[in-house]
Amino acid sequence: MGVEPVFRLVDGEHGPGVTYDCGCPCTPTATLAVDGQPGFEHCCCGKVHFAGPGADPAMTAYLAERAARRKREPRYVRGSGSLQTASGPVEIAWAFPAE
| Binding footprint of Zn ion on the chain (CB under 5 A) | 22, 24, 26, 43-45
Q: How far is the CB of 19 from Zn ion (least distance, A)?
A: 10
Closest separation in Å from C-beta 86 to Zn ion: 27
Q: Which are the contacts of 57, defined by CB distance < 8 A and separation ≥ 6?
A: none
Nearer to Zn ion, 33 or 43 (CB): 43
Single-letter amino acid code for the residue at 55: A
CB nearer Zn ion, residue 33 or residue 49: 49
Minimum distance from residue 65 beta carbon to Zn ion (Å): 21
The CB-of-49 to Zn ion minimum distance in angstroms stands at: 10
* Residue among 10 and 44 whose Cβ is closer to Zn ion: 44
Single-letter amino acid, residue 74: P
Q: Are 32 and 40 in contact (CB under 8 A)?
A: no
By beta-carbon proximity to Zn ion, the closer residue of 1 and 86 is: 1
Strand partners, 88: 85
Q: Is the CB of residue 94 less than 8 Å from the CB of residue 48?
A: yes
CA 23 to chain centre: 14
